[in-house]
A and B are shown apart, each in its own frame.
Chain A
């Protein structure tokens, strides 16, 4: 019975049905399912499908935001219940939109997907200065720093951050994304990875921490055809 509810929950994430997500989360908890199982088998497969559909231009930013909101509502119920040690994080990411840039939609979507993939995500917000990135790296000891920029006038700041990380000799990998950013740009400024979209960001993040990527496309077909 709960298998079906978990599937319904994935579908509710895909549909962006926040109320249903909350309702099913409570229902599953009531049936004695663990928060981790609900997360791993209800929410995450749903967000995986959202990521793939976004990548493939089947859905666009508004749909992803609505799905992210549904997932967030469910996470708000689950997170206080997730006991320490129960969920082994695959890695830690510090993310932020760089100085001078207030665009956070792409960054938020990536943050949500990374969370869904099991990363601990520390979001520094928008207009993030290099000092703030460096402080967060020293404090949180993340595996990855993710930077976002939407403007050609702000993308250059990514190099400022990458340079500072190298200058301070901090052992952290860098990953960048955003509309004007490209693989060539990433190579030029010495960033470790470039991700074209949120689904790819998860893939690259997993590469950086050495976790194998599961073929989510198989799961997605199951869910989308139910």
Chain B
């Protein structure tokens, strides 16, 4: 699939189902705590690919690559700072190899935060952050991604820089999702960015798709989508966590089961999202539920 088809699909009014979590799925399949998840693209390709395949089989129209932390800054923690290109290209290739060969199925390259503070709060310059995201965006495009998904952003400035880098260094459609929490000041990121500010700044940066991911569960995602939908004519995306994690037998287990999220996902769809999926704690079973809801909605 090329990128024009990706945006065309959304513009035609089709609702796409994305995938669920990568990190918590890797853990379920044996990834030890504290290792570099992106290195699994190289050392355990069958596990990463198995997750992609399970999502496509469950009805995902797109999977997001295992490259959330595959930027120079985050990989440096593991001594892998010179393997950005290798991890990104391989991760996309693994997804493309199991992507069903039909129109409307895509691979999105995941880009998460650098974990760095940008001047004047911290040591990184905006230029350095731009270069870090550029390197990752180019590598994901080289691997053959259909779109770039900038995820779990909290700081407006970092999100903007990531969007600019992705738009300027590739010709791919770019989605950006920020993580909001409901508090006394309404929906805000940890950096204090509200939904309205997020929309205006991401739009100015040239983003194609706007949305939210992660967070504290589907109820809050409903509130986010309700606030977000009237603020933009662009396609919007919602990928919620399955609630708050609990800890069972050595892995984080999220509390919102496919049964629990069904009416909530329906509400999100009815509010007019264009891409629905999940984040931490959601798995293929959640995606199957969303697939069913989307098919039902689109057959009406």
Contacts and interface: CB of A to CB of B under 8 A. Distances in A.
A173 interface: no
A152 B24 contact: yes
B74 interface: yes
Nearest to A184: B246
B121 interface: yes
A127 B37 contact: no
Contact of A189 (B36, B37, B117, B247): B247
Given A57-B188, A60-B188, A156 B250 contact: yes
Interface string B185-205: 100111110000000000000
A98 B34 contact: yes
Interface string A170-183: 00000000011010
Given A102-B77, A180-B252, A182-B244, A153 B33 contact: yes
Contacts of A105: 117
Contacts of A65: 117, 121-122
Given A184-B246, A185-B246, A154 B33 contact: yes
Nearest to B31: A153
B10 interface: no
A127 B77 contact: yes
A205 to B, nearest CB: 22
Interface string B169-194: 00000000000000111001111100
Nearest to B179: A179
A160 interface: yes
Contacts, number: 93
Interface centre among A60, A154, A157 (most CB of B within 10 A): A60
A156 B247 contact: yes
Contacts of A118: none
A58 interface: yes
B280 interface: yes
Interface size class of A (residues with CB under 8 A): 35 or more
B26 interface: yes
B97 interface: no
Contacts of B24: 152-153
B250 A102 contact: no
A56 B192 contact: no
B100 interface: no
A28 B116 CA distance: 36
B281 A152 contact: yes
B245 interface: yes
Contacts of B31: 153
A59 to B, nearest CB: 7
B185 A57 contact: yes
Interface string A52-71: 00001111111101100000
Contact of A156 (B189, B244, B252): B252
Contacts of A188: 246-248
A66 B33 contact: no
Interface string B117-133: 10001100000000000
Contacts of B33: 99-100, 153-154, 156-157, 160
Given A99-B34, A152-B281, A154-B34, A59 B184 contact: no
B27 interface: yes
B191 A182 contact: no
A157 B280 CA distance: 17
17 contacts: A57-B184, A60-B190, A60-B192, A61-B190, A66-B121, A100-B35, A153-B24, A153-B33, A153-B34, A153-B37, A154-B33, A155-B247, A156-B33, A156-B251, A157-B33, A182-B246, A184-B244
Interface of A: 56-63, 65-66, 98-103, 105, 126-127, 151-157, 159-160, 179-180, 182, 184-185, 188-189
Given A65-B121, A188-B246, 14 more contacts: A56-B184, A58-B185, A62-B155, A98-B34, A101-B34, A152-B27, A152-B245, A155-B252, A156-B33, A157-B34, A180-B245, A180-B252, A184-B244, A184-B246
Please provide the 10 A-B residue pairs with the shortest distance between their CB atoms, ordered closest to farther: A60-B192, A100-B34, A57-B183, A99-B34, A57-B185, A57-B184, A188-B247, A156-B33, A153-B23, A157-B33
